[in-house]
Amino acid sequence: MPVPRPNAFLAGMVTLAVSCASFAGAASQDAPKEAKLLLRWDLPEGTVWALHVHQQSETRVGFSGKVAQTRYDLQIDGTWRVVAQQPDQVTIHQTVDRIVMEVTTPAQTAVRFDSASQARPAPGPAADLAASLRPLVGATFELVLNRRGEVQDVRPVGQVAEQWMSRLRSDSTESAALQAAMTKALAQPFLTLPEGAVGPQDTWRHLRVEESPLGQVQVSTTYRLDQPSSQKDKTLWPIRFTSEIQVPSPQQEKNSPLPSAPQTGPGQTAGSPTTTRRNPIQVKQFEQSGTVWFSVEQSRPVSAELETRASLVHVYRDLTITADTKLRQQITLQPKSDVKSDAANPPDSKE
C-alpha cells in the first residue's frame, strides 16, 4: 500500500521545527513565590543551542464502515545561533541538522527516513519520502522575535534554504500549498508571553486568526504560571496552557472576515445571509494542552510538552468521512556543549 503524500509530512515537520522558535522567555533573576516575574526572551548573543523535537501522532480515517490507521514518528535536531540581541528583539539562525521519520501505513508497512544514514533508500515510498525531506537538512532560516516570543520576520539564509524555497515556489500546486503552510508555521508563536509581570496562578490569554481549509479559524490560548518545582537539581517554573478553536459553520467567502459575534443560525451570519456557504468539514472535538518549563535562574526555557486530540467529519455527497488524530510533542532546548556526540549515540543505519 502506498505511503501518504510526503509533502503533508513536511508541512507538519516545518510547523514543529520552526514555529517552536517562540517557546521561550524567562525572568533574569530568581524571586520569592509572591513576587511577580516579567517573562521575556533572554538568550545571550553569540550563544549556540541544541533544539530537539519529537512528535508521535496517530490518525484514524473512517468511511463506509472501514477504518484506516496511520502512525507517524518524527524527530528533528536543530541548532540555534543567537546572532543579535536588541532591547526589543532577538535574532536567531536556526539550522535543521537531522530528520528521522518513520511512517506506518494502514497496511502496517513501515517506511523510515534518517538523514544521517548513508544508505540509499529503496525505490518507491522510501525514496519519495527521502526526496521530500532531505532538501531541508542543512537549511538555515533567520527568525526575528520580539521579547514576548512573537515571530516578527522569517527569511532563508544561505544557498540550501534559498534553493529549498525556490523549489517550492516553482513546483506543483501541492508544493505551493506546502509553502503557504510553511510560511504560516514560521509566523506562529508556540508561546506568547504576557505583556506585564505575572505571579503563580496568574493567567493570560492570546487570540489569533489563521487561514485553514476550514476557513478563517480563531485560536484562543489561555496560559497559567504555576508554582516552581525541583527537577534534576534545577528549579523550573511551569507555564501550562490550553487552546481551543472557533470554526464558523458557514465558511466565509473569500475576503470576508471571521465574524466577531456569534452566528444567528446554521448557514447564516448576522447581516449577510447570502454571502456564505456551508462548510463541508466539521470539527467535532478539539483538545490541546501542554506545559512549558522555564529555568528562571538560567533565563531560558528547558523543555515543553504538548498533546492534541482532534476529530473531524467531512461530508462528501453521500459519503461521510471521519478523521481522528492524537498527537504528542516534546521539545527540549539546551546548550550545544551539553549534547552528547554522535559517536556516543550512533544513528540507525536503516532507512
pLDDT above 90 covers a percentage of the chain that reads 34
Question: How does residue 340 score in pLDDT terms, banded at 50, 70 and 90?
Answer: low
Instruction: Give the model confidence (pLDDT) of 105-149 as tens digits.
Output: 888 888 999 999 988 888 888 888 888 888 889 999 999 988 888
Instruction: Give the model confidence (pLDDT) of 245-286 as tens digits.
Output: 887 655 444 444 544 433 333 333 333 343 444 556 788 889
Residue 161 scores a pLDDT above 90: no
The DSSP 8-state label assigned to residue 48 in this structure reads: E
Alpha helices in 121-246 (DSSP H): 125-133, 158-170, 173-187
Q: Cβ contacts of residue 203 below 8 Å, gap of 6+?
A: 222, 223, 224, 225
Predicted model pTM: 0.75
- Among residues 110, 117, 77, which one has the least CA distance to residue 96? 77
- What pLDDT is recorded for position 301? 81
Instruction: Rank 37-41, 194-198, 216-220 by mean pLDDT and report only the highest.
Output: 194-198
What Å distances lie between residue 12 and 191, 217, 237, 270, CA to CA? 18, 18, 28, 35
Question: How does residue 91 score in pLDDT terms, banded at 50, 70 and 90?
Answer: very high
Domains of the chain by range and CATH? 6-26+38-266+276-336 (2.30.230)
The DSSP 8-state label assigned to residue 338 in this structure reads: G
Residue 218 scores a pLDDT above 60: yes
